[in-house]
Structure 1
Amino acid sequence: MDLLSQFFSVEDREAIEQIRLSINPSEDVLCWGGARNGIFTIKSAYHLLCNQHDQQFSTRATSSHRHAWEDIPSEVWKRIWNIKTLPKVKNFLWRCCANGVASSENLMKRHIPIDPSCSRCGHDPKSIDHLLFLCPIARAAWFGSNLTVGIPVDGPFTLAQLLLHWPCLNFHDKRCNEDVLCLLSFMCWNIWLARNDLVFGIKDWTPEDIISQAQASSTKFLSISRGNTLSVRNTHEAYSIGRQSSPPDSGIIKINCDAAFSLKAPASGIGVVLRDHLGNHIQAASNPISFHEVLLGEALAVLFGLQLATYGGFNNVHIESDNEDLVSFIREPSRPHPLSLRSTLQDIGVLIPSFSVCNFSFISRDANLVAHSLARKALPVASQTFWPVSSPWLLDLCCKDARCFACPPLQ
């Protein structure tokens, strides 16, 4: 550490200290820091130079000439344009983050003589963030929707903040992430339509009206865009059928792994449960471990599960994870992967040959509830915790899991 302080700046030293080293001896490799996978391309170099130019320009700009959208990270804009929703809804979300919507607050800034207070709750002035999230009608709509979003009572809450921290939410697959983002976009859009109908005396929407219209629009859009007529709920159920957990063959130990991350603490942790072909609990562990990417946390959970199997002397294992990307990276080592996963994937690759049988499969979140609960249990604790099967909450979860996925109940 003294050597790092001697030769590197504070920012570089902090970045170096965050590099996760492999537990196995490995050769150093040169990686390109301008790309997420560490591989140099002309495209990544171009984007790096453009970002540096934008940063230099923003630092030269005076505060009096800065706009709100200049402080929004580029990740937010990319996420908006990648949402699977109607183009007009994407444009609306972009205008919301850029503070370019004709809210009462913005109209007053342009010296338009109107009542700036919220037409529903009387809040003064009415900003777009108040309209979308903080107004009581909006709060009720968000909480009553399938998203079940609880808006904080104290402190600001903006659409840009929500989209910026979106990757920290642990979705079990890309399709689920697309479905939730689509519904979120239509919720924002219909809250805005409800506001307009109230202002112009057309209709007074209830939270139930907003929810039903948003969910119907989201379902219709996703069904048409995917070339089928199934609802989002039925589509998700059909998608999950082939990804449910099932008992392993006799003599094979099933290992379920998951990771959890909390923005409030902040805290992170992983959970692992080992069971035999009869569904009998062998070992369950929660491990509070630091990580800043959900995908890295999922990889660390798989590594932890393999280590527990090694310590237990098990030669035949089947590992299940609810992260489809991670399973794909493990199955196809030559596939380009994020640079942050390199050392952890190397450690997993070193352990795999030590087993006679070592298979990996992707399952839905609903089929991974035991490991997910164990990962959540790791957030408030300070060290590894191995849970006895007599723990009432663990016994109850394992029994429910056995009934749902055709495993015999615990004895």
Structure 2
Amino acid sequence: MVWKEEELNKWFHPDDIRVILEVQLPLFPKEDIQIWGGTQNGIFTVKSAYHFLCNQQALKDKLKASSSGTLIPQVPKPVWKLIWGCKTIPKIKTFLWKACGFGLATGEGLHHRQITVDPACHRCSEPIESIDHILFQCEFARAVWFGSPLTINFGSENMTLVEWISSWTKLLAKDKANGHLVISLCSFLCWFIWKARNNSIFNQTTTSPSAVCSMAVKAYEEFWSSKGDTALPNQASPHSTPTVQGWTPPPYPSMKLNCDASIHGEGKLSSIGFVVRNSTGLCTLAVSDPLHFTTPLQGEALAIRSRLLHALGDCIEDIMVESDCKELLDLLSRGKDSSPPIYILPIVEDIVYLSTMFCKCQFVYIPRLSNVVADTLAKKALSITGMTTWPVSSSWIINLCKGDTMCKPRSSE
């Protein structure tokens, strides 16, 4: 199914058309449904309506403000204590303090001070570039968080900086030592996301999300190394990557599918990759596809849907699907009872429907560091112009698969 662009051009504004075309349509015909935009899953609740109205009023109040004194939000005292108690360098503490106090030159801040600038985000054209948008809501920022050692996926949550810092108390209550490590790394990620934004605007320097992650982690390690501790945080967040166990072949006669998605260049380039291997660990298919999508979650879903469709055409009856996107796998495990975000609802429904066409279809979580082959294929797609099926006899494919050190061939039964 595809959008009828001639009809869209007839009835909608070009900006609306661009957003509409971003919506993924299902593979199989379905009746249209009404959704409520105030919740992630499209289901109306009184609570969401209340928050929507409160947010609208808060936005109006901000737009009426004309001096910096009226812009400083009411920040709870515990938040200030958490900022100054954060294990990080002093300039990052000052940065977080200014960010919470509306003291940074964001598009929103400059606009409120009656400085003639475009208040929109220069990366994604969000109408109001707030500090919350820069650090958490922009697709570039989400790619940084998702690609970090914490593998955090904020999804469609409109989290504010103050709310996020307030949540640090839960990390510290669970494991104080490791909580400080997690918070410290988060502070460096925020700082380097902010620096990348400034470099992009003032120096016209493009920095990829992966490069931002690398710089933040390097600075974080140097900071803790100076204190005699170089450990990275572990298991301190529900989004943390579990202990790496390595890739293993599926039991005979199953085929194992590994998928991954990649976003690069401030979200302007996106791609998927997948590999299929049999019970001996032999690669039977390796594909890179420069497919367009807007979030890592959407990309992972598109990768799984694409390969399941191909697997049916290849007459595969027993398939095991491995992905490092736990959020998506949790949705798929609940089947028709899940409530996925609106923007991936048609894709998830397609995957659930396609899975019923196999004799056996399993969805299994695999840590990111054990999903190297699919990750490499996805990144290779960033430099090609169309879907490429790589020859499985290629030396680089063979060596890549051999690199999965836990790949121990099983004997056929």
TM (norm. structure 2) is 0.65
AA aligned to 1:307 is L
Residue 32 of structure 1: how far off its partner (Å): 0.6
Alignment of 1:352-367 (within 5 A): 352-367=355-370
Measured at CA, do residues 100 and 26 of structure 1 come closer, stay the same or move farther in structure 2, by a change above 3 Å?
A: closer
Q: Greater CA deviation, 278-287 or 331-340?
A: 331-340
State whether structure 2 residue 46 is matched by structure 1 residue 42. Answer: yes
Q: Is the 8 A contact 1:170 1:294 kept in 2?
A: no
Aligned position for 1:232: none
CA drift at 1:95: 1.2
Mapped partners of 2:381, 2:6: distance in 1: 32
Query: Paired residue for 2:59?
Result: 55
1:10 CA drift (Å)? 3.5
Indicate if the aligned counterparts of 2:249 and 2:277 stay in contact, CA closer than 8 A: no
Question: Offset of 1:316 from its aligned partner?
Answer: 0.8
1:167 aligned to which of 102, 125, 142: 142
User: Residue in 1 aligned with 2:320?
Assistant: 318
Relative to structure 1, is the Cα distance of residues 15 and 68 closer, same or farther in structure 2, using a 3 angstrom cutoff?
farther
Work out the CA distance in 2 between the residues paired with 1:292 and 1:396: 31
> 1:193-242 deviations in whole A, cap 9, x for unaligned?
xxxxxxxxxxxxx997623257949869x78x79xxxxxxxx96xx325x
1:92 deviates by 5.7
Letter in 1 for 2:185: L
Pair member with larger Rg: 1
- 1:381 equivalent in structure 2: 384
In structure 2, what is the equivalent of residue 22 of structure 1?
Answer: 26
**1:266-285 to 2 correspondence within 5 Å?**
266-285=268-287
Query: What secondary structure sits across from 2:58 in the alignment?
Result: helix
Out of 89, 102, 127, the residue aligned to residue 86 of structure 2 is 89
Given candidates 341, 360, 364, the residue that maps to 1:338 is 341
Within the alignment, does 1:212 sit opposite 2:214 as a pair? no
Q: Is the 8 A contact 1:256 1:320 kept in 2?
A: yes
> For residue 304 of structure 2, what is the aligned residue in structure 1?
302
Match in the other structure for 2:157: none
1:5 aligns with 2:18: no
The separation in 1 between residues aligned to 2:379 and 2:351, in whole angstroms, is: 23
Deviations 1:224-279 (A, max 9, x none): x79xxxxxxxx96xx325x5432111111000000000134710000010110001
1:379 partner SS: helix
- Relative to structure 1, the CA distance from residue 95 to residue 332 in structure 2 (aligned partners, 3 Å threshold; closer, same or farther) is same
- Residue 182 of structure 1: aligned partner: 183
2-structure distance, mates of 1:386, 1:260: 17
User: Are residues 1:391 and 2:394 paired?
Assistant: yes
Corresponding residue number in structure 2 for 1:151: none
Superimposed CA distance per residue, residues 181-203 of structure 1 (whole angstroms, 9 cap, x where no aligned partner)? 53424658999xxxxxxxxxxxx
CA RMSD of aligned residues (A): 4.0
Deviations 1:276-306 (A, max 9, x none): 0001110100111111111010111111121
Residue of structure 1 equivalent to 2:264 = 262
| TM-score calculated relative to the size of structure 1 | 0.65
Deviations 1:149-172 (A, max 9, x none): xxxxxxxxx997454533223748
What is the total number of aligned residue pairs between the two structures? 313
> What are the ranges of 5 or more consecutive residues in structure 1 without an aligned counterpart?
103-157, 192-205, 227-234
The amino acid across from 1:345 in the alignment is V
Q: Are the structure 2 counterparts of residues 338 and 385 from structure 1 closer, same or farther at C-alpha, using a change threshold of 3 Å?
A: same
Amino acid of the residue matched to residue 55 of structure 2? N
Which residue type is aligned with residue 53 of structure 1? Q
Q: Deviations over 1:18-59 (max 9, x none)?
A: 211101011111111111111111221122222222333344
1:148 is matched with which residue? none
Whichever residue aligns with residue 280 of structure 2, its letter is L
Pair 1:283–1:406, CA change in 2 (3 A):
same
